[in-house]
Structure 1
Amino acid sequence: MFDFYSLYSHEFVRVACCVPRTRVADAAYNLAETLKLAAQGDKTRAAVMVFPELGLSSYAIEDLLLQDALLDEVERSIAKVVEASRKLFPVLIVGAPLRVSGRLYNTAIVVHRGKVLGVVPKTYLPNYREFYEKRHFISGANTITREVELLGETVPFGTDLLFKAAGIDLTFHVEICEDVWVAIPPSSHAALAGAELLVNLSASNITIGKAEARRLLCGSQSMRAVAAYAYSAAGPGESTTDLAWDGHAAIYELGDPLIESSRFEKDSTMIQADIDVGRIRQERLRYNGFADCALQEKERVERFRTLPFAFDPPADSVALDRAIERFPYVPSDPAKLRDNCYEAYNIQVQGLAQRLQSNRTENAVIGVSGGLDSTHALIVACRAMDRLGLSRKNVFAYTMPGFGTSDQTYRNAWRLMKALGVTAAEIDIKPAATQMLADIGHPFGKGEKVYDITFENVQAGLRTDYLFRLANQQRGMVVGTGDLSELGLGWCTYGVGDHMSHYNPNGSVSKTLIQHLIRFVAASGDVSRETADILHDILNTEISPELIPAGEKGVVQATESFVGPYALQDFNLFYLTRLGYRPSKIAFMAWNAWHDIEKGAWPANLPEGTRRAYTLEEIRKWLALFLRRFFTNQFKRSAVPNGPKISSGGSLSPRGDWRAPSDGSPDIWLEEMKAIPEAKGESKATRKPKTRSK
């Protein structure tokens, strides 16, 4: 049954990494701590729980590993884990030494609902420095059987096992500690064979700097393998005869750290994260190199055995416990945001500078409205001239007031042009617009106050006409100003300034990011204090096309009242084009990110107007509008000018990230939206997440 409010309905899977406190060679104590954590994971509805290497026996027990009494007790412990699992929701993956065909293996036992699904032996046994595993164990690469008798049952045994859950819909693979430290980890081939979650049971003693090495290994493996990686290492209670243990656990997804344990805890600990399996699948669809590797490694990949098992989602609704970036084009981490702004700004400047050189022109022509987009494009143009060693007077900037131009934007346009030292001029388009409207028989040309789409586009078209002819006159090129959000929504008049130019440095910059880029420039020290003040005035101006005269009490056209909040529409744009998510999943994520916003922590420099919550009803409304506009305006994106790709969030260039037919229909996407509840309010089954996005 589809439950919109449950994470398991949207290709999310909860994974837990456990670090139980142990006692050296005390299998009964270790079992009790393991089961305590298993019960905790059951309450939180974790689907997969990972425990440390040799966790039931303890890892650092040397030759005690060869004692029958201990090995017998460990097998009894395994039986008790299996029995306890009958009433538990999660898959439990525990570490234990196991005798198989007269050999001793370091193994992971995979247990679910009273059954051992399979046993995975460790492949690479470290035998250097402090490690001496070959004294006790046999490598999983040297197995002589594909099955093992365990607890009276015949179960699959080997390093070639993939566990495929039906219901939860997840495929995972298990490896042990050293396996991820080698040049080609077993999980690499497992991922190529279809594993989406890679699990590592580790012991891994701690030395200075080793924790960072683990982060690099696990993070990079999740990125290379296009997968999630869950890692759990031994912690308190292990023998400290010669070693120490920090209890390091972490979960990564496509290189991104989702969660990490606090280390050196004295008691048992558990961390959990909701991995986005849908994201992993989408990345694999797009990444040709992943499929090519599978073909190159075909022989190894085909050796894997897939073990299907029934795993129905929980009956109760499980709320998402994952930080969702409210602004996917704008990271919430201040340091990362600064780095992104630095790179984006310099990509734009470099792109425009190169195009000026390639076109063998030293002049740029740009229209300046006093709004966000043209402001940033003007800054980029000035900086490009600086980089080329040319005068900023080579930037010919024109403000072209029309019928809806406000005093504030007009004043800011002039202030900015003067402060930046460009060649500034003004062309009043109202007389020409009036004449054109009269020529085509429009009522406004006869003195009537008719403010329709024709009235608006006559102004927009005239501005573009002037700019291109001015470019001819100045032997320069027109610099575009329209941004990614406007292209996504089709909020740009075909063939005019926000759509057409000789080169557009803003073309793959979202509206939400442009605001931060302007702040970045204002705070960079590259502009005067006066210029910075002007930039902040522009940032505080309501977004408007200013094509219709202000109404009563000076109320201007508000763009977001027509196309929706850019905060939500940029969210929709990112997840539709970058990751191909179905509308119901986009709405689910948006609801988790935005519905309890008053509880969230906000960056200090975020505009007050965007600090608000959105109900599911609002999210649904604006998503439907976005889908209609996005599909019906593809013809505009099929004819956009050149401009550099800025972020991994993608661009909408028909020559780059987004190639689509201009006559595509949104009907399938709108139909899928029926999975989003229409009722107002929250589901009574919904629980608020423990962690929130920033």
Structure 2
Amino acid sequence: MSQGESGSGRDFGAIHSHGLVRVAAATPLVATADPARNAEATIALALEAGAAGVDVVVYPELGLSAYALDDLHMQEALLGEVERAVATVCEASAELGPVLLVGAPLRRGGRLYNTALVISRGRLLGVVPKTYLPNSREYYEKRWFASGAGTDGGEITVAGRTAPFGTDLVFAASDLADLVVGVEICEDYWAPVPPSSFAALAGATLLANLSASNIVVGKAAVRASLSAAQSVRAMAAYVYSAAGTGESTTDLAWDGQGTIHELGDLLAESERFADGPQLVVADVDLARVRLERMRTPTFGDAAVFAGEPSRRFRTVRFDHRPHRRDVGLRRHQRRFPFVPDTPERLDLDCYEAFNIQVHGLVRRVRATGGGRMVIGVSGGLDSTHALIVAAKACDLLGVPRTSILGYTLPGFATSEETKANAWALMRALGVTAAEIDIRPAARQLLGDLGHPAAAGAAQYDITYENVQAGLRTDYLFRLANLQGGFVVGTGDLSELALGWCTYGVGDQMSHYAVNAGVPKTLIQYLIRWTVSSGQVDDATGRLLTAILDTEISPELVPADAETGAMQSTQDRIGPYELHDFFLFHVLRYGLPPSTVAFLAWHAWRDAGTAGWPAGFPAADRHAYDLPTIERWLREFLVRFFAVSQFKRSALPNGPKVSFGGSLSPRGDWRAPSDASAAAWLAELDRNGPRRQRG
């Protein structure tokens, strides 16, 4: 599927073209005190990594000698064999693509250091010594090793190769943007301020830890939490590789834990206690890391407060010569980035999202003096969820649910099914319910405007639609005046992103927009969660399930006379599940459209069982091909950047709910209302699927 590069374009199918780098945590089968065999094991995994298209391989601490050697570390014969093993690895890697981070004890200036060697295509790029040497309980490293503290600016000669030496090194690929590697060793990341924090502030986007941490009960979880936390705190990708099978078990045991994290997310982990070598592989998004740092001033401030580590650190540049082949994508790519796909996390996120909305609404009710809540109930997803939130807010406030004034406002195209659902829902939740038929007023207004539909013509244009939408909002606002209440908005984040809402109307305007921070895909799961978590009784749960199965439609245009098909939102503007995918990666990370298309294709090209959120109906699982993804991405870009901002600039208050962000002009998204989408469309033209298809 890949093509060679030409002109200014990029190969759409290659991960390197989209800011991703393939990394691996390697756990060879160690031979205790046998550097020659350990060199062979190191090379074997390097060959496997090269065949898999890996860019960087991280090995365990002291992997060329083994870690659990005690006083054997001080034997000259062993240390001489280690240097010969280094030469063997360098020579064998001359034609290999991956950068190898290998652990070894090395002599320098009358001292012995526990070090990480960085090797690329046969070249020893540099050597980083361990800073923090554990010397308590089972550890006794200060008996053998000197700390790397104070070695900045140094050099070392190993097996006839002279290279930079010190804790002040980062390694930057000259031909692969964003690949900058920082290295630390085992105990270093248990320190209050790990050395990798300074490496990150000096520009390292990929942090590596060569470890020989022995295993005791519960320790693996602590290691994983440290790796996750450091990847968040340093805003980086973090690869951790611990010693495994082959280490001496005289007094300790080893599990070979390997993990790959990115900004707190676990991308891959090895099998622990495996009786053989392992290579765990994942693609880390270093462009995402860079963009996250750019949008977070705290990162830049930390560099200033730390004395600008970039001035102290030396950057070792090297030609990586990335393969740029289409090697697929080795990372879990969620189809629904706003919706977790594990049952435990899904339940927690739904609990938090629901309560954010409920407590936001409770605060607004109290601030308005306890007035009534007025909601237009259509029988669709958004108004259903807003009504459930309002009902729970009443319960929390200790006021009767009859304080909610629910109105169904049927127009020219309202179906009997949705109107019946609206009535059934209001009755089930115990709110004060009423119906106002807006058709007489709509006919009057259309007639006053001289619109042909007033005389019976089938002219179903935007005026025809918005007369109905506007009247519904007029009624709700005036009812709120009459009843001493306020209007609860029902429009969601997805509609606001696409501008699929009428300016000044209920899906864009209200007194409090309780759904404005919730995307459509998450609203569907929140409704399912209210059923599964017992927020509603069984009868209401069955009703909510029926509402979930209803076609998403504004119901402003009559059904087709021949087919009976109702107006479909997604037929008009595209699938919400794709648009929510686009929105997350554009809003949260600012990724370029070609990368968004690349990730969407890998997420959606297969309708198999993997990657679907828990409980997603099997009948609704499907795939999207590349032309379909590109078509709707272009629709999204135009709508999001060029068409819809003026509506978002006038949004009412509403709570931010998702980690993916909000579109409040006072919050996550500030943008001009008269911008162009040309730059985003041009990037997609240059680097996206059309070029890949030739």
- Alpha-carbon distance in structure 2 between the residues aligned to 1:678 and 1:651: 28
Match of 1:638 among 630, 649, 668: 649
Match of 2:685 among 649, 671, 674: 674
The change in CA–CA distance for 1:677 and 1:577 in structure 2 (over 3 A counts) is closer
Residue of structure 2 in register with 1:117 after alignment: 125
| Helix, strand or coil at the partner of 1:553 | coil
Residue of structure 2 in register with 1:622 after alignment: 632
**Does the 8 Å CA contact 2:341/2:614 hold for their aligned counterparts?**
no
Counterpart amino acid of residue 576 in structure 2? Y
**Does the 8 Å CA contact 1:362/1:390 hold for their aligned counterparts?**
no
Residue of structure 2 in register with 1:656 after alignment: 667
* Shift of residue 243, structure 1, vs aligned partner: 1.0
Residue of structure 1 in register with 2:57 after alignment: 49
- Alpha-carbon distance in structure 2 between the residues aligned to 1:666 and 1:485: 18
Match of 1:160 among 168, 191, 196: 168
Counterpart amino acid of residue 259 in structure 1? A
Could you report, residue by residue, the CA deviation over 1:353-382 in whole angstroms, capped at 9, with x for unpaired residues? Answer: 110110113301110000000011111111
- Alpha-carbon distance in structure 1 between the residues aligned to 2:219 and 2:344: 25
Give yes or no for the alignment of 1:596 onto 2:606. Answer: yes
Could you report, residue by residue, the CA deviation over 1:542-588 in whole angstroms, capped at 9, with x for unpaired residues? Answer: 00000011112321001001110001000011111111000000000
* Shift of residue 94, structure 1, vs aligned partner: 0.6
Range with bigger deviation, 593-602 or 248-257: 593-602
| Helix, strand or coil at the partner of 1:273 | strand
**Does the 8 Å CA contact 1:587/1:676 hold for their aligned counterparts?**
no
Give yes or no for the alignment of 1:587 onto 2:603. Answer: no
Match of 1:25 among 33, 52, 69: 33
**Does the 8 Å CA contact 2:215/2:253 hold for their aligned counterparts?**
yes
Match of 2:96 among 88, 91, 94: 88
- Alpha-carbon distance in structure 2 between the residues aligned to 1:305 and 1:136: 27
Residues 326-341 of structure 1: pairs in structure 2 closer than 5 A: 326-341=335-350
- Alpha-carbon distance in structure 2 between the residues aligned to 1:630 and 1:574: 12
- Alpha-carbon distance in structure 2 between the residues aligned to 1:605 and 1:81: 49
Give yes or no for the alignment of 1:59 onto 2:70. Answer: no
The percentage of aligned residue pairs carrying the same residue is: 58
- Alpha-carbon distance in structure 1 between the residues aligned to 2:157 and 2:281: 32
Give yes or no for the alignment of 1:554 onto 2:564. Answer: yes
* Shift of residue 678, structure 1, vs aligned partner: 5.1
- Alpha-carbon distance in structure 2 between the residues aligned to 1:599 and 1:159: 46
Residues 267-666 of structure 1: pairs in structure 2 closer than 5 A: 267-298=276-307, 300-551=309-560, 552-598=562-608, 600=610, 602-603=612-613, 605-607=615-617, 610-631=620-641, 632-666=643-677
| Helix, strand or coil at the partner of 1:172 | strand
* Shift of residue 102, structure 1, vs aligned partner: 1.6
* Shift of residue 681, structure 1, vs aligned partner: 9.6
- Alpha-carbon distance in structure 1 between the residues aligned to 2:657 and 2:182: 36
**Does the 8 Å CA contact 1:93/1:110 hold for their aligned counterparts?**
yes
TM-score when normalising by structure 1 = 0.96
- Alpha-carbon distance in structure 1 between the residues aligned to 2:59 and 2:423: 65
* Shift of residue 621, structure 1, vs aligned partner: 0.3
- Alpha-carbon distance in structure 2 between the residues aligned to 1:599 and 1:529: 29
| Helix, strand or coil at the partner of 1:641 | coil
**Does the 8 Å CA contact 1:617/1:680 hold for their aligned counterparts?**
no
**Does the 8 Å CA contact 2:259/2:270 hold for their aligned counterparts?**
yes
- Alpha-carbon distance in structure 2 between the residues aligned to 1:681 and 1:618: 14
| Helix, strand or coil at the partner of 2:512 | coil
| Helix, strand or coil at the partner of 1:99 | strand
Range with bigger deviation, 136-145 or 482-491: 136-145
| Helix, strand or coil at the partner of 1:302 | helix
Give yes or no for the alignment of 1:136 onto 2:144. Answer: yes
**Does the 8 Å CA contact 1:615/1:681 hold for their aligned counterparts?**
no
Q: Which runs of 5+ in 1 are unaligned?
A: 684-694
Residue of structure 2 in register with 1:263 after alignment: 272
* Shift of residue 144, structure 1, vs aligned partner: 8.2
The change in CA–CA distance for 1:385 and 1:4 in structure 2 (over 3 A counts) is same
- Alpha-carbon distance in structure 1 between the residues aligned to 2:54 and 2:478: 64
Counterpart amino acid of residue 630 in structure 2? R
Could you report, residue by residue, the CA deviation over 1:317-347 in whole angstroms, capped at 9, with x for unpaired residues? Answer: 2211111110011111111111111111111
Residue of structure 2 in register with 1:69 after alignment: 77
The change in CA–CA distance for 1:55 and 1:181 in structure 2 (over 3 A counts) is same
* Shift of residue 647, structure 1, vs aligned partner: 1.1
The change in CA–CA distance for 1:680 and 1:229 in structure 2 (over 3 A counts) is closer
- Alpha-carbon distance in structure 2 between the residues aligned to 1:526 and 1:534: 13
Range with bigger deviation, 614-623 or 593-602: 593-602
**Does the 8 Å CA contact 2:377/2:422 hold for their aligned counterparts?**
yes
Could you report, residue by residue, the CA deviation over 1:36-74 in whole angstroms, capped at 9, with x for unpaired residues? Answer: 101100100110001111111111111111111111111
Residue of structure 2 in register with 1:240 after alignment: 249
**Does the 8 Å CA contact 1:567/1:610 hold for their aligned counterparts?**
no
* Shift of residue 680, structure 1, vs aligned partner: 11
Root-mean-square deviation (CA, aligned residues, Å) is: 1.5
Residue of structure 2 in register with 1:102 after alignment: 110
Could you report, residue by residue, the CA deviation over 1:375-402 in whole angstroms, capped at 9, with x for unpaired residues? Answer: 1111111111111111111111100100
| Helix, strand or coil at the partner of 2:282 | strand
| Helix, strand or coil at the partner of 2:184 | strand
Counterpart amino acid of residue 583 in structure 1? P
Counterpart amino acid of residue 581 in structure 2? F
The change in CA–CA distance for 1:681 and 1:413 in structure 2 (over 3 A counts) is farther
* Shift of residue 483, structure 1, vs aligned partner: 0.3
| Helix, strand or coil at the partner of 1:311 | coil
| Helix, strand or coil at the partner of 2:326 | coil
* Shift of residue 168, structure 1, vs aligned partner: 2.1
* Shift of residue 610, structure 1, vs aligned partner: 4.3
Range with bigger deviation, 598-607 or 27-36: 598-607
- Alpha-carbon distance in structure 2 between the residues aligned to 1:317 and 1:365: 55
* Shift of residue 604, structure 1, vs aligned partner: 5.8
Could you report, residue by residue, the CA deviation over 1:482-515 in whole angstroms, capped at 9, with x for unpaired residues? Answer: 0000000000000011110000110010000001
TM-score when normalising by structure 2 = 0.96
* Shift of residue 677, structure 1, vs aligned partner: 5.0
**Does the 8 Å CA contact 2:593/2:688 hold for their aligned counterparts?**
no
- Alpha-carbon distance in structure 2 between the residues aligned to 1:472 and 1:138: 77
- Alpha-carbon distance in structure 2 between the residues aligned to 1:51 and 1:402: 67
- Alpha-carbon distance in structure 2 between the residues aligned to 1:110 and 1:526: 56
The change in CA–CA distance for 1:196 and 1:457 in structure 2 (over 3 A counts) is same
**Does the 8 Å CA contact 1:504/1:642 hold for their aligned counterparts?**
yes
The total of aligned residue pairs comes to: 683
Counterpart amino acid of residue 18 in structure 1? A
**Does the 8 Å CA contact 2:96/2:121 hold for their aligned counterparts?**
yes
